[in-house]
Amino acid sequence: MNPPKIALLIFGAGTMVCTGARTIHQAIYIINKVIDKLKDAGYVDAKFVPLTTENMVASVRTPWRFDLSALHEAYTEYCDYEPELFPGVTVHHPALNKVAILVFKSGKMVVTGARVKRNIYDALDTCMPFIMENRSDPNEPRGTKRAVNAAATTRKRSKKTL
């Protein structure tokens, strides 16, 4: 596995934004390294203050392709789809608070807007049933035992990667 590409943005007001860290520990480690370098450069007041998680992002790969038009038509109240502007369906379920799921035709999904891991799992648990109804894989009829087992396997894999 390649090391993550972590970027730290430092603003004039003294705030920092860390992106690309896969864990809180990685973020804290990088922030502390940068604070040490700032102190070495003469910014003696640089210090670590408690951090807050603003946005966690998770990517999910499924073995299926999705019919985005069908998903949007069936669940218009939850889904935004403008294929001329963006190649995926954005799912905003009321139970998800500020978490959104981006669903792509290829079967890949991105969960964004979570502040804790539990938000990601809750979003997938809430939305996967109706997303799965709109698979476009002609070789795998919906509701088969193989499809249900594959969905459970995908769920286990996504937990491991987070």
Q: What is the pLDDT of residues 74-120, one digit of tens each?
A: 999 999 999 999 999 999 988 888 899 999 999 999 999 999 899 99
Tell me which architecture the domain covering 56-161 has in CATH: 2-Layer Sandwich (3.30)
CA atoms within 13 A on the CB side of 7: 3
User: Could you give the 3-state DSSP secondary structure of residue 114?
Assistant: strand
- Would the pTM count as exceeding 0.75? no
Looking at residue 142, its pLDDT comes to: 44
Q: Residue 89 is inside which H or E element, if any?
A: strand 88-91
How many C-beta neighbours within 10 Å does residue 107 have? Answer: 17
Domain chopping of the chain, boundaries: 1-52, 56-161
Angstrom distance (rounded) from CA 107 to CA 76 = 19
Angstrom distance (rounded) from CA 62 to CA 158 = 10
| pLDDT-derived band at 43, boundaries 50, 70, 90 | confident
pLDDT > 70: percent of the chain: 82
